Amino acid sequence: MYIIWFLHRVPAPRADDFLACVGQAIEVFHRHGAIGGTVYAMADPAAKYGCSAVETCIDVAEDEVLFAETAYFRDREHYDEVMPLVDADPELEELYQVLISTIDIARTVRGEFSTILEIVGDRQPVPVT
């Protein structure tokens, strides 16, 4: 699996606008061949199990909501096939303009990740190549 991962700091009054925009963007990705996408809301920001709290690593203002977002692809090759189609879609450009009017995009954190180990159900850990 190959994913694009985002952390979005969204002004709380704009959260619904943000979610509508990102939901439509995920549909554009899916229409062009991405497996799909997911948006997550912060459920519990507390530090636990000896780990640092999210808030110690990323500055989230009191009037902001933190969302994580992922877009899924089979592998890097699939990502490389899909993204030129996504990037050329005029609907995505329109959604991007809405997004940057909704949040400070420079405060969004983005990364791309490849699966290297997967555990599903009662299976043993399987290295993924």
Fold classified for 2-127:
Alpha-Beta Plaits (3.30.70)
* C-alpha torsion sign, points 110, 114, 116, 120: positive
pLDDT for residue 124? 64
pLDDT for residue 117? 87
pLDDT for residue 102? 96
pLDDT for residue 122? 72
pLDDT for residue 128? 60
The low-confidence residues of the chain, meaning pLDDT below 70, are: 123-129
